[in-house]
Amino acid sequence: MITLKVKDMDIASGGPLVAIINEKDAEKMDFHHLDRIKVIYQGKIETVVIDIGKSEKAVPIGGIGLYEEVLDSLNVVDGETIEIMPARKPLSLDFIKKKLDGFKLSKNEIDQIVWDIVHNKLSAIELTYFVAACYSHKLDSRETTLLTKAMVAHGEKLKLNRYPILDKHCIGGVAGNRTTMVIVPIIAAAGLTIPKTSSRSITSPAGTGDTMEVLADVTMPIERMKKIVEKTNGCIIWGGSLNLAPADDKIIKVEKPLAIDAESQLLASVIAKKASVSATHLVIDIPCGNGAKLSNKKRALQLKKDFEDITKRMGIKTKVLITDGKQPIGNGIGPCLEARDVLWILKNDRRGPADLRKKCLMIAGVMLEMAGKCAKGKGKEIAKEILKSGKAYNKMVEIIKAQGEKIINPEDIKIGKITYDVVAKKKGVVKKISNRSISKIARVAGAPENQGAGIYLYKHIGDKIKKGEKLFTIYCYSKHKLDFAKYALEKLDGVVVK
């Protein structure tokens, strides 16, 4: 074994365990970029990936630079002495290559891959190859079930002494569509349990986690989440803040820059998160239409069948809904604008978008029927009564306060002060509103990083419009962002009037 002196690099990799050694030491020990070494300190051992430092300024000869994840794991500090020795590459690399070659994976192979992902044994490049392999060679239902179970097993689980436990999920791809934040308080107000974990944006102007964060804290440990659910019946929390199916969160980080959703990983990702909160009844929303994530009805029906198959194997009662995804749902696109829409609906304010309200009531109605809260065909009526009575709004206020209140009054939500109105160039009817284009413009305007940035729609498909009438308004925080948004507007077909 070789002894080296620790240098704290003051850098975090965001996951993988990384160390840097001087190129002269690397040459002497015959180490190369991305080789593995075991780092040993006071009986603790971590296997890390190495990078090579070209100068003594980076890492001196006889030293080893450690990233934050390695320092924390070994509980070692700058200036301490550690030992290193060569280590073999993770077993899962052979299994990832096997999948890249188009072969099926066994239970043990999938377990090993997930274990290595959770314990940061794979570099970002290696994890990317796994995502790419599953994208190119779709996992079959057996492999997907095994991946789902492995994701659940290698993470924490929310255990609640309740039945039924409800959950819902939308596969995304539709701008706006902030149904969760209306459905959760309706279901919770009905006396049912719905511990909702949600995602942040990957390629959209806002995820539910981003929008809920305008109103309350969404980052918390599982113990606090459990207390909130036991007190209020529900919550809306960012799943990435919890150790529920942590492999999924690491995979999502890789998918984000690639802007891909491997279908088998999408299935495993969704269902693992639901199993991790002990869900017994689940509604899946698959928007389908031109510009949605799924534009082909045949593919939507196949995904519906896949969801039903995997959830049946997992013991979760599931209803899959194929919904209209040909245009944005709601008026606000971006965290603050969407949060305002949600509160307006919950407060029965006339400014609440009718299309979003209608969809929320439909899904909530299905969930109430699944849970045995009412007879089949009566769920939507019950959901509407809970909403109209103010019980859903009061429940949302209770949840917001339990999660660390930021804003409750929609009029207190601050949106971008720099605006630009996009108006109709001619009289006609709105024939198309592109989800992709609207989402792109809203992101270029600053959403979701700038919470108050985004787009507010005034018209939807089928609406008549006069020349000069507003189609939508772009909201930004800077002139610079607005210039970018205007440029994107020139290149994209956001709203088509004929």
Query: Is residue 261 annotated as part of the catalytic site, yes or no?
Result: yes
With beta carbons less than 8 A apart as the criterion, state whether 194 and 393 touch: no
Phi, psi of 477 (to 5 degrees): -110, -10
Q: Are the beta carbons of 226 and 160 closer than 8 angstroms?
A: yes
| Tokens coding 284 | 């899946």
How many Cβ atoms are within 10 Å of 391's Cβ, its own excluded?
Answer: 17
Task: Evaluate whether 212 touches 178 at the Cβ level (below 8 Å).
Answer: no
Q: Which two tokens stand for residue 338?
A: 């969407």
Contacts 24+ apart (CB under 8 A), 423-426: 423/468, 423/469, 423/470, 423/471, 424/465, 424/466, 424/467, 424/468, 424/469, 424/470, 424/471, 424/497, 425/467, 425/497, 426/467, 426/497
**Cβ-contact 254, 137 below 8 angstroms:** no
CA atoms of 456 and 421, how far apart (whole Å):
10
Residue 323 region by backbone torsions, left for phi larger than 0, else alpha for psi between -120 and 50, else beta: beta
| CA atoms within 13 Å, Cβ hemisphere of 153 | 16
What's the CA gap between 93 and 122, in Å, rounded? 8
The catalytic position among 51, 261, 306, 341 is 261
Q: Cite the active site residues.
A: 261
